Amino acid sequence: MTTTTTGSLAFDRIGMVFPDGTEAIRSVSFTVDRGEFVTVVGPSGCGKSTLLKIASGLLDPTSGAVVVDRDRLGYVFQDATLLPWRTVRRNVELLAELHGLPAKERHRLAADAIQMVGLEGFENHYPKSLSGGMRMRCSLARTLTLSPPVFLFDEPFGAVDEITREHLNEETQRLFQAEGFAGLFITHSISEAVFLSTRVLVMSARPGVLVAEFEIPFDYPRTPDLRFEPEFAKLSGEVSHALRGGHT
Amino acid sequence: MSLTDDRRTTGDGADLGAADDPELVHEAPAPAPPPPAWRRVAAVALPPFVLGVGILAFWYFISYGILEERRRFLLRPPHQVIDKGFLDWDAFSTILGGLWSSTKVALMGLSIAIAIGMFLAIIMSQARMAERAIFPYMVTLQAIPILAIVPLISFWFGTGQTSRVVVCVIIALFPIIVNTLFGLQSAERGAHDLFTLHHANRLTRLRKLMFPAALPAIFAGLRISAGLSVIGAVVGDFFFGRGEVGIGQLLRRYANRLEGEELLAAVIMTSALGVVVFWTFGLLQTLVIGKWHEPGSGGR
């Protein structure tokens, strides 16, 4: 594992212009360290998902550079992207399988990860019989098997209902505390961003530029009730204001 | 809504509340208990049974009511067909023998078509160029009526078993290629990204992602091709008469000899073979992918 002085994940003046001429991102720089949970909020189409694709190497930026160890990068997609022909257990084992780990090791890692996300008892279920929230848990467990030092989340809970989303947020927070990874989370939900993060970055639309940065001072573990604290509301309001184009 | 309409008149301006009142919901008549098993079976079995009886009656009507005695050989009544075609062991064993011969041809043709079709589809799925190069020829081949190339086939492969198998292969190939290719390309973009992120090589991606994702489409193609291979076997047999006597030869023989009972029996048995093949592959599909596949969810 290579640890750089600039952090576990560093974006250095990243710019992205698509072949059709759309400028998605302009000169974005920031770092995420281990033990940090950074969320990027922005209107849809502002290029925040593109940022993750660049971080993971799925896309090459047209300018700037990314510093990250891509060996065991955790990437949680918008969809659960489970393989429907595999049971929960076999889905969770997939990454370990792709990395060529022996069967015994795979089973152990999968069992641990399944337990961490609370899917015990569903190991032999196929994705078609799982709810949206459970599929997302399964997807989280799959990523957890590699204990990734850097965890990328691409609006993972956008498709589930509000209640499930809150549960999954708590789950994510718990995993973050247990694993201490460097987390980069993309969302368009302000309350999700403030609830989860140590730091919130606000991105503007087209071209995507970072317009504001907020330190979120609350201690972990954060309880669901935090959402109703005045301090939480105040911070959310400021993030919202920045999103709407005001300057802080 | 209409169930609660009459009750709402009692409330003055409480219409909105009435709709949410749980008591009113409970007073709606309970859904009827599920019908007993025999009724469900009857609901499925009765319509085709009734139609079958109707068809038989119509058949009798034509045999006895329309055709006079000396032209009755054109359509013998059902009981005579059963008597001479099915219950006469000599005739029936000949039909079964022909059917078995044609089944072998169909299975061999289908197996070869599956091997060639899947191979081509996999090649095409791996390289866009290959797809662009091969696909137009596949469509062209598919567009040639089989009768048009029968002379060519006999010219090259003779008039025996080989030619019959070739007809089967040509006729069954296209659905396998198209469905396998479509299936291989049906894996989700996100799943592909996942494999890319974890440095999966081509073979791993094919084995663990594209091929399993293709299975539902492959089985859909197999069912079509299996049916087509039976047709191919009968057609091939009809034109290529050397060697073993298949069902196509029998059909031709019975027609030439005006043996209407045996002819009809052979036709019925041929269609039965088609049905059996279709169902067999349906069963195979259920066994292999039934556990995880959601019908109607496309290739996912």
> CA B172 to CA B297: how far, in whole Å?
26
Written as six digits, the tokens of A51 are: 């940022």
Task: Tell me which residue of A124, A127, A193, A198 sits closest to A158, measured CA to CA.
Answer: A193
CB B72 within 8 A of CB B63: yes
Comparing CB atoms, the residue among B193, B200, B292 nearest residue A128 is: B292
**Any B CB within 8 A of A218 CB:** no
Average pLDDT on A185-204 reads 90
Contacts with B91 (C-beta within 8 Å, 6 or more apart), sequence order: B84, B85, B261, B262, B265
Chain B: closest CA distance from residue A84 (Å): 6
Q: Say yes or no: A95 contacts chain B, CB-CB below 8 A.
A: yes
User: In angstroms, rounded to a whole number, what is the distance separating the alpha carbons of residues B16 and B29?
Assistant: 21
A228 touches chain B (CB under 8 A): no
What type of residue sits at position B275? V
Secondary structure (DSSP) of A48-84: HHHHHHHHHTSS--SEEEEEE--TTEEEE-SS----T
pLDDT digit string, tens, across residues A48-94: 888 999 988 899 999 888 888 887 789 999 888 999 999 999 999 99
How far is C-alpha A25 from the geometric centre of its chain's CA atoms? 19
Residue B248 to residue A145: CA distance in whole angstroms: 60
The confidence score (pLDDT) of residue B202 equals 92
pLDDT band at B10 (very low <50, low <70, confident <90, very high): very low
B298 and chain A in contact, CB less than 8 A: no
**Sheet containing A9-17, strands listed edge to edge, beginning at the edge strand earlier in sequence:** A23-32, A9-17, A63-68
3-class secondary structure, A244: coil
Chain A environment of B194 (Cβ under 8 Å): 75, 77, 81, 94
The confidence score (pLDDT) of residue A127 equals 92
pLDDT at B72: 84
Structure tokens at B213: 């994702």
Lowest average pLDDT, out of A161-175, B214-228, B261-275, goes to A161-175
Residue A4 pLDDT more than 60? no
Predicted model pTM: 0.80
pLDDT digits (tens, 9 = 90+) for A21-54: 888 888 888 889 888 999 999 887 777 888 999 9
Q: What does the pLDDT look like over B15-71, one tens digit per residue? A: 444 444 444 444 455 566 777 888 888 888 899 999 999 999 999 999 998 888 888
pLDDT of residue A248: 41
Choice between B85 and A97, residue whose per-residue pLDDT is larger: A97
Domain boundaries, chain B: 2-73, 80-289
pLDDT digits (tens, 9 = 90+) for A105-146: 999 999 999 988 888 899 899 999 988 889 988 999 999 898
Structural domains for chain A? 18-69+149-248 (3.40.50.300), 82-147 (no CATH)
Cross-chain residue pair A128–B199, CB shorter than 8 Å: no
Measured in angstroms, the CA of A97 and the nearest CA of chain B are apart by 10
**Which chain A positions have a beta carbon within 8 Å of B213's beta carbon?**
83, 85
Instruction: Give the integer Cα–Cα distance in Å for B200 and B185.
Output: 17
Q: Could you tell me if B121 and B180 are in contact, meaning their C-beta atoms sit under 8 angstroms apart?
A: yes
Does position B7 have pLDDT exceeding 70, yes or no? Answer: no
d(CA B27, CA B7): 11
Answer yes or no: do B292 and A81 touch at CB < 8 A. Answer: no
Cα dihedral angle (A129, A134, A140, A144), rounded to 10 degrees? -80
Determine contact: A72 vs chain B, CB below 8 A.
no
Instruction: Count A/B contacts: CB-CB distance under 8 Å.
Output: 54
The interface predicted TM-score of the complex, written ipTM, equals: 0.87
Q: How far is A54 from chain B (nearest CA, A)?
A: 12
Which of A58, A78, A127 is nearest residue B196 as measured by Cβ atoms? Answer: A58
**pLDDT at residue B31, as a whole number:** 63
CB-based contact A163:A174 (threshold 8 Å): no
Q: Which amino acid does the sequence have at A193? A: A
Contact: B188, A81; criterion CB under 8 Å: yes
Chain A, 100 to 139: residues with Cβ < 8 Å from chain B are: 126-128
Task: Name the CA radius of gyration of chain B, rounded.
Answer: 28
What pLDDT score does A2 carry?
43
- Nearest CA-CA distance, residue B253 and chain A, Å: 50
Per-residue model confidence as pLDDT tens digits over B240-296: 878 788 898 999 999 899 888 899 999 999 999 989 998 999 899 999 998 888 776
Share of chain B above pLDDT 70, in %: 88
Do B197 and A78 make contact, defined as CB atoms within 8 angstroms? no
Report the C-alpha dihedral over residues A80, A83, A86, A89, rounded to 10 degrees.
Answer: -30
In a 13 Å sphere around the CA of A46, the CA atoms on its Cβ side amount to 21
Please determine, for residue B14, whether its predicted confidence score (pLDDT) is greater than 70: no
Helix (H, G, I), strand (E, B) or coil at B196: helix
pLDDT of residue A111: 92
As a whole number, the mean pLDDT across chain B is: 85
Query: What pLDDT band is residue A3 in, cutting at 50, 70 and 90?
Result: very low
Query: Cβ neighbours of residue A84 under 8 Å, at least 6 residues apart?
Result: A126, A127, A128, B292, B293, B294, B300
Cβ count near B253 (within 10 Å): 17
pLDDT in tens, B115-172: 999 999 999 999 989 999 988 988 888 888 888 888 899 899 988 889 999 999 999 9
Q: Compare all CA atoms of chain A with the CA of B204 and give the residue at the minimum distance.
A: A98
pLDDT at B215: 94
pLDDT of res. B2: 42
* Cβ-defined contact of A84 to B300 (cutoff 8 Å): yes
With CB atoms and an 8 Å threshold, state whether A56 touches B197. yes
Fold observed for domain B80-289: MetI-like fold (1.10.3720)
Q: What is the pLDDT of residue A92?
A: 95
The whole-angstrom separation of Cα A25 and Cα A15 is 5
- Candidates B189, B194, B211: best to mutate against A (most CBs of A within 10 A) is B194
